[in-house]
Amino acid sequence: MSSALDWNREGRIWPHREASSFVPSGGATWHVQRMGPSGAPQVLLLHGTGASVHSWRDVMPLLAADHDCIAIDLPRHAFTSGHSVEHTALPRMAEKVAGLIADLGLDPAIVVGHSAGTALAIQLALDHGYSGPIVGLNSALRPFPGPAAQVFPALAKALFVNPLVPRIFSATTRLPGEAKRFLNRSTGSRIDETGLACYSALLRNPRHAKGALAMMANWDLPRLKARLGEVANPVLLVHSDKDTAIPLDWTREASSWLPDAKLEVMQGLGHLAHEEDPERAAELIRDFARIRQEQTQ
């Protein structure tokens, strides 16, 4: 069995380490980062598949000027431990996140998700009563077209059950510069050295890689798509035009399935746009939260 990431080894390089805590909830232990004034409106930050709280490293301090920001490592990702494979399915993951929210006594004023984190935010709205605004950054909402909708999850499952795959993948990313090349190819983004160091640590760990594969294998976007018309929450979808992971047209189409959605395009950036231009991402999040708050007063 491959070893988990060690907070006192790999975790030594994690941004905002002083803001981290480890919270027991639902039979698991969650890695949570929190910063910002107590009593301020709360922002819940949900990263995408294969990432961790480090993806919010520059957005979070900007929002924390006037928000209480909470970022979590999702089940079987990074430094969160104790979840079963079944908890990587979208409804079960939402259930576990909702349990953590309750155990922490949170009442988010806005939920922000990146990539698959947007789908998770919407599932929280559909199944667990979250009624506030949602911001989706380079969102993974649209199922793969045609036969790929069935083939991709099946392939992910096949890769997941092969114990060699996460090890082989992790071994290849140990090659000098390979993590950077992998991110450039797969996301179209160019990020800073701090982010690259964290992604390199994640990609090198077979257990984290297996968690990301499990999440992909169990992510049922066709079922979510069938329910998007039920979403009453105001949604801002922010997408970048150079995203090589999820085409802008896919998010443009997905926005039409939501009853109350707005699309904002960030120019010249890739899938990790919020890591490339955190100031712009934070500005869009803060403005959307403010406008929605004013509309409800």
Averaged over 158-181, what is the pLDDT? 59
CATH 3.40.50.2000, applies to 10-295: no
pTM of the model: 0.91
- pLDDT classification of 1: cutoffs 50, 70, 90: very low
- What H or E segment, with its residue span, contains residue 44? strand 42-46
- Closest by CA to 46, choosing from 143, 141, 134, 156, is 134
pLDDT for residue 3: 73
- pLDDT classification of 295: cutoffs 50, 70, 90: low
| pLDDT tens, residue by residue, 9-53 | 999 999 999 999 999 999 999 999 999 999 999 999 999 999 999
- pLDDT classification of 151: cutoffs 50, 70, 90: very low
Q: Please determine, for residue 54, whether its predicted confidence score (pLDDT) is greater than 60.
A: yes
- Closest by CA to 223, choosing from 157, 98, 129, 127, is 127
Phi first, then psi: give them for residue 249, nearest 5 degrees.
Answer: -60, -30
Domain boundaries, the chain: 10-295
Q: How many angstroms separate the CA atoms of 31 and 85, rounded? A: 18
- pLDDT classification of 165: cutoffs 50, 70, 90: very low
Q: How many angstroms separate the CA atoms of 126 and 217, rounded? A: 21
Q: Please determine, for residue 155, whether its predicted confidence score (pLDDT) is greater than 70.
A: no
Structure token digits, residue 266: 């960030």
The average confidence (pLDDT) of the chain is 89
| pLDDT tens, residue by residue, 219-249 | 888 899 999 999 999 999 999 999 998 999 9
Residues contacting 296, CB < 8 A, separation 6+: none
| pLDDT tens, residue by residue, 240-288 | 999 998 999 999 999 999 999 999 999 999 999 999 999 999 999 999 9
